[in-house]
Amino acid sequence: MLPTPVRYKLVAGSGEGNTHLTAFDTALLNAGAGNLNLLRVSSILPPRAVEDPNLTIPPGSLTPVAYGTLTSDQPEQIIAAAIGVGIAEDPAGYGIIMEYEGYCSRKEAEDVVTAMVQEGFAKRGVKLQRILVKGVEHRVEKCGSVFAAVLLWY
């Protein structure tokens, strides 16, 4: 069993490759998550978790992550991904993570995750203090990918 994460970092990146997988790998590398073993989790930020923009995770680590990603091989297509983290007003409360990817601009993707975080808090009846958002957009050349995530760590 994994311990509950206590730190987190928002990351985003994009990249090109010859295949969908290598484009995704390049986006991971550009986001700073390319050398981690990602364990996809659902969208709850643990209570008392603290944002750490300088968070460094050892290569090969099993890393809990909530993320949105999209890959396309349609030249000139605009793709985007965004991640949003809602912080509860109660410092002992949990937060909510929402992710989005689509054929849109970075701004549009960020607006969608912001609205999703607000809705998630409203549905739970939890008071929202603030929202952190990070997004990325990419114009596909050959095969492009976008990736936006919250890396969770101990």
Q: Is residue 82 part of a domain?
A: yes
Q: Is residue 144 part of a domain?
A: yes
Q: Is residue 119 part of a domain?
A: yes
Question: Exposed, middle or buried, 108 (CB in 10 Å: 0-12/13-18/19+)?
Answer: middle
Looking at residue 2, its pLDDT comes to: 77
The C-alpha atoms of residue 131 and residue 26 are separated, in whole angstroms, by 27
Q: Is residue 88 part of a domain?
A: yes
Looking at residue 93, its pLDDT comes to: 86
Task: Give the residue-averaged pLDDT of 133-145.
Answer: 98
Residues catalogued as catalytic: 37, 42-43, 99
Q: Is residue 1 part of a domain?
A: no
Which has the closest alpha carbon to 153: 1, 3, 5? 5
Local confidence band at 13 (pLDDT 50, 70, 90 cut-offs): very high
Local confidence band at 11 (pLDDT 50, 70, 90 cut-offs): very high
CATH number at residue 79: 3.50.20.10
Q: Is residue 2 part of a domain?
A: no
Is the pTM for the entire model greater than 0.85? yes
Look up the domain containing 107 and give its range: 7-153
For residue 1, pLDDT over 90 is answered with no
Chain segment 40-71, per-residue pLDDT in tens: 999 999 999 999 999 999 999 999 999 999 99
- The domain tally of the chain equals 1
User: Tokens standing for 95?
Assistant: 């937060």
